[in-house]
Amino acid sequence: MKRYLLVLIFCFTGVMLFAQNMDLELANREYTRAGASFSDRLAVLERVRDSGQTGAGEFYHSALRLLLQRIGNERSAREQAAAEMSAIILCRGLAAENFTGAAAEIWQTVTVFDINRPHSHFEGLAMQAAIIALGQIDSREYIPHIVRRLEAFNTQNLANEDIKRKVQRVVIGCINALETFKDPNGFRPLFYASIGSYDPVIKERAANAFLNIIEDPADIVIGIIQSPANNASIKSEALKATLRMSIPETSKARVAAAALATGWIYSTSNRQQQTILREFRKTAIDAIHDFGAADASVYVNLEKSYENNFVSASPDFDEIYKTLTALAAIKTDEGTQLLNKFLQELHHRRRNGPWGNKERSVFERVIFSLGSTGTQSMDVRFLLTSISHSDEYTWVERNMATDALRNLGFVR
């Protein structure tokens, strides 16, 4: 009985495969029929697609080759639409079959249906489907080509709404493919797409995609931040994107260190960019507060954030206070030494002037910051003790020094 059932199953399977092959052969004859229009061929492709047949990779491949040969012979808008829809079905079908042998023709589809070709009437949907298909069949040799396409779109003028609509369709395809490939070369163009002139939904899609490209993109982000070609807005977005990523804190600290250094190297005459640059530095300082000092450059540039603002005619007190808080939070000897240096300078001003509201406000913050470092430095102890006993200070100021000594465990 079991043998009889197995025979029946094999026979049934054979009949189904034979019928399927006959269907594809019939479809191929109809598709390649002389005189068939683009609409006729589209109808054949839709029947094959809707039948749910598998093993149609060879058919789709040969059909795509014929379609590419015929492009340019469309005689109406209806035929153009049929040609583009045919390309979409074929690319999706080849991707579903994982038909890697068709990669060259799929890329040719991108170029033939290019929306930026002169006199092109295509809508970008075939380009989108082809680029997505390349990602799905893992045709990694085309990554550089897709990267260049997305880079070009990122800088294209999208003032014309019709052009923007078509471009965004192709951009979606690039985002999808590069996310699928997970190649580090896709990170930069995806990042720039996320801050480009596309619609918010496209930018959000790009932002989500570059998070999945590489486990730790710190070196790439540092390159973006340090690039002189990028303005303060781009640098700031790169830093903020990094701080949202699930990457090691040491990597975030490295990016923050590079950002603060760049914040003092980069200059611009644009008022709006100057404002963004100040906020950029403060974001970097906050990150250093949270993740620590990655290297010695941090102390050099934190000192700049303090000194340059302190002597400025219009100081950014917020940057000064963030700097002091960060130096206290990282709890290193270098950080403590800087705070002690700042206090010594203020001590000199208290004795010799000038001493006004600015000095008094900063003095209070420096004292508090030193008191929260946990240091056991004898230099710090000596300076705080001198202040706490000096008649040159008010009793409020002397009490601040005493509180700092108490917090450090030097007095009870």
**pLDDT digits 0-9 by tens, 1-35:** 545 444 334 433 333 433 345 489 999 999 999 99
**Is the per-residue pLDDT at 319 higher than 60?**
yes
Looking at residue 95, what is its pLDDT?
A: 98
pLDDT band at 284 (very low <50, low <70, confident <90, very high): very high
Report which secondary-structure segment, H or E, holds 135: helix 125-136
**Is the per-residue pLDDT at 178 higher than 60?**
yes
Give exposure, 58-88, as e/b (b: 16+ Cβ within 10 Å).
ebbbbbbebbbebbeebeeeebbbbbbbbbb
**pLDDT digits 0-9 by tens, 393-406:** 999 999 999 999 99
Give me the chain's average pLDDT, please. Answer: 93
pLDDT band at 161 (very low <50, low <70, confident <90, very high): very high
**pLDDT digits 0-9 by tens, 94-113:** 999 999 999 999 999 999 99
End-to-end CA distance of the chain: 96
Looking at residue 53, what is its pLDDT?
A: 86
Mean pLDDT, rounded, for 114-126: 91
Looking at residue 12, what is its pLDDT?
A: 39
pLDDT band at 277 (very low <50, low <70, confident <90, very high): very high
**Is the per-residue pLDDT at 385 higher than 70?**
yes
**Is the per-residue pLDDT at 338 higher than 50?**
yes
pLDDT band at 74 (very low <50, low <70, confident <90, very high): confident
**Is the per-residue pLDDT at 262 higher than 50?**
yes
Query: 20 or 365: whose pLDDT is higher?
Result: 365
Looking at residue 206, what is its pLDDT?
A: 98
Q: Which stretch of 69-83, 102-116, 158-172, 211-225 has the lowest confidence by average pLDDT?
A: 69-83
The residues near 271 (Cβ < 8 Å, ≥ 6 apart) are none
**pLDDT digits 0-9 by tens, 37-50:** 999 999 999 999 99
Of residues 259, 202, 211, the one with CA closest to residue 232: 259
Query: What's the Rg (C-alpha) of the chain?
Result: 33
pLDDT band at 72 (very low <50, low <70, confident <90, very high): confident
Looking at residue 412, what is its pLDDT?
A: 79
Looking at residue 24, what is its pLDDT?
A: 93
pLDDT band at 199 (very low <50, low <70, confident <90, very high): very high
Mean pLDDT, rounded, for 285-312: 98
Q: Alpha-carbon distance 347 to 64, whole Å?
A: 81
Looking at residue 6, what is its pLDDT?
A: 42
Q: For the whole model, what pTM was predicted?
A: 0.89
Looking at residue 73, what is its pLDDT?
A: 85
Residue with tokens 């369709």: 169
Query: 75 or 394: whose pLDDT is higher?
Result: 394
Mean pLDDT, rounded, for 348-365: 95
The residues near 379 (Cβ < 8 Å, ≥ 6 apart) are 340
In angstroms, what CA-CA distances link 7 with 2, 18, 21, 390?
Answer: 9, 16, 21, 106
Mean pLDDT, rounded, for 328-339: 98
**Is the per-residue pLDDT at 118 higher than 90?**
no
Looking at residue 22, what is its pLDDT?
A: 46
